[in-house]
């Protein structure tokens, strides 16, 4: 019985020491606490915005209205070795929103209404934000815009 108590005590000490060590490390690298990290790791991607720190970019006071057009999406798509219709592909790939912009014209929009998505739904941008920021900066450089203006 003493051996079992000793093993349990040592196990608890190790777990507490790991928790404290990981908490200090996560704090040092400015990452959420250990519990938040576990919750984040177990959450579906659509829920991560509520688990991570975020900020919302305020809308423009003078928004540009994008022109819209129409574009046919492919009748079928190869996905995971299957030939699917476009709608089946969007459903099977768990797509929440899909937007096609060609030459400054929105030619196709899809929102997963079953998942509660609409034009006004806020979705995380993840790495897409880096790509779009790079595109905007590239356009500003091309136009020779000065950031000091």
pLDDT tens string 40-85: 788 877 677 777 767 777 888 998 888 999 988 999 999 999 999 9
Q: What is the pTM assigned to this prediction?
A: 0.57
Same domain, yes or no, for 38 and 59? no
Identify whether 129 is part of a domain: no
- Radius of gyration of the chain from Cα atoms? 24
End-to-end CA distance of the chain: 76
pLDDT band at 126 (very low <50, low <70, confident <90, very high): confident
Does one domain contain both 102 and 77? yes
How many domains is the chain built from? 2
pLDDT single digits (tens) 111-120: 999 888 999 8
34 with 61, same domain? no
Is 136 inside a domain boundary? Answer: no
Residue 130 lies in a domain: no
Q: Domain residues for 105? A: 55-123
């Amino acid at each position: 019985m003493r051996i079992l108590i000793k093993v349990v005590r040592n196990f608890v000490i190790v777990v507490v020491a790991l928790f404290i060590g990981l908490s200090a490390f996560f704090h040092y690298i400015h990452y959420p606490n250990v519990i938040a990290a576990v919750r984040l790791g177990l959450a579906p991607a659509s829920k991560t915005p509520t688990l991570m720190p975020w900020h919302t970019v305020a809308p423009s006071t003078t928004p540009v209205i994008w022109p819209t057009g129409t574009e046919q999406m492919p009748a079928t798509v190869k996905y995971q070795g299957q030939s699917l219709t476009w709608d089946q592909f969007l459903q099977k790939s768990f797509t929440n929103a899909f937007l096609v912009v060609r030459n400054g014209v929105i030619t196709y929009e899809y929102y997963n209404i079953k998942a509660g998505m609409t034009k006004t739904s806020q979705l995380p941008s993840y790495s897409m934000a880096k790509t779009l920021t790079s595109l905007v900066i590239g356009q500003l450089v091309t136009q020779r815009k000065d950031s000091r203006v």
